[in-house]
């Protein structure tokens, strides 16, 4: 079973590769099963594939987040089109245990992705759902919570971040 990958691991900095229908079917089925188990175990809202050590363009949302995702929980090869004002709100990340920081995101996004049966999905998301999509999309580009927080916050969290990086959190 795959487990959560913490800040400091190189895979979190990779630009993830697109998934290919057919070629990736079996790999994806096992990957999604593992991702669901990890998300449930750590009680997260969302999880991106590199967070379990696989640099591929996939993220999931929990089944019971209450977010308006129209029943979709699997997003493959997503593309985002942001809209609306920039909004600051607190975010956490399973790869940064115990870290919370204000992050500025677009209020809304149109997300185009494939679902787990490779069917195209287009959703217009706002609020927390849009924030989740932007956070998880960042992971697929190798961009992390630490890159999105302000300088002051990063400095305040320096020793905590160092502990996570060194595996001693
Ligand atoms: Zn994250």
Cα 164 to ligand 1 centroid, rounded to whole Å: 14
Q: What is the pLDDT of residues 32-45, one digit of tens each?
A: 999 999 999 999 99
Note the pLDDT tens digit of each residue in 77-134. Answer: 999 999 999 999 999 999 999 999 999 999 999 999 999 999 999 999 999 999 999 9
The pTM (predicted TM-score) of the whole model is 0.96
- Note if 136 is an active site residue: yes
Do strands 120-126 and 58-61 pair parallel, antiparallel, or not at all (unpaired)?
unpaired
Sequence ranges of the domains in the chain = 10-86+106-144
Alpha carbon of 124 to ligand 1 centroid (Å): 21
Are the CB atoms for 103 and 93 separated by under 8 Å?
Answer: no
Give the SS3 label for residue 118: coil
- Tell me if 35 sits within 8 A of 74, measured CB to CB: no
Query: What are the pLDDT digits (tens) for 133-148?
Result: 999 999 999 999 999 9
pLDDT-derived band at 156 (thresholds 50, 70, 90) equals: very high
Please give the Cα distance from 43 to 11 (Å, whole number): 22
Total count of residues recorded for the chain: 169
The CATH architecture one would assign to domain 10-86+106-144 is Alpha-Beta Complex (3.90)
Distance from Cα 117 to the centre of ligand 1, integer Å: 24
């Amino acid at each position: 079973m795959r487990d959560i990958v913490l800040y400091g691991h190189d895979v979190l900095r990779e630009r993830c590769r697109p998934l290919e229908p057919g070629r990736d079917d079996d790999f994806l089925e096992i990957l999604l099963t593992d991702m669901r188990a990890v998300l449930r175990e750590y009680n997260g809202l969302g999880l991106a594939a590199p967070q379990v050590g696989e640099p591929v363009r996939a993220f999931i949302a929990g089944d019971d987040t209450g977010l308006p995702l129209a029943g979709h929980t699997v997003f493959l090869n997503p593309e985002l089109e942001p809209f609306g004002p920039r909004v600051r709100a607190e975010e956490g990340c399973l790869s940064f245990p115990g870290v919370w920081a204000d992050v500025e995101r677009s209020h809304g996004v149109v997300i185009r992705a494939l679902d787990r049966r490779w069917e195209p999905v287009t959703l217009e998301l706002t609020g927390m759902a849009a924030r989740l999509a932007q956070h998880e999309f960042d992971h697929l580009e190798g961009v992390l919570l630490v890159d999105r927080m302000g300088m002051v916050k990063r400095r305040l969290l320096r020793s905590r971040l160092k502990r996570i990086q060194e595996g001693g959190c």
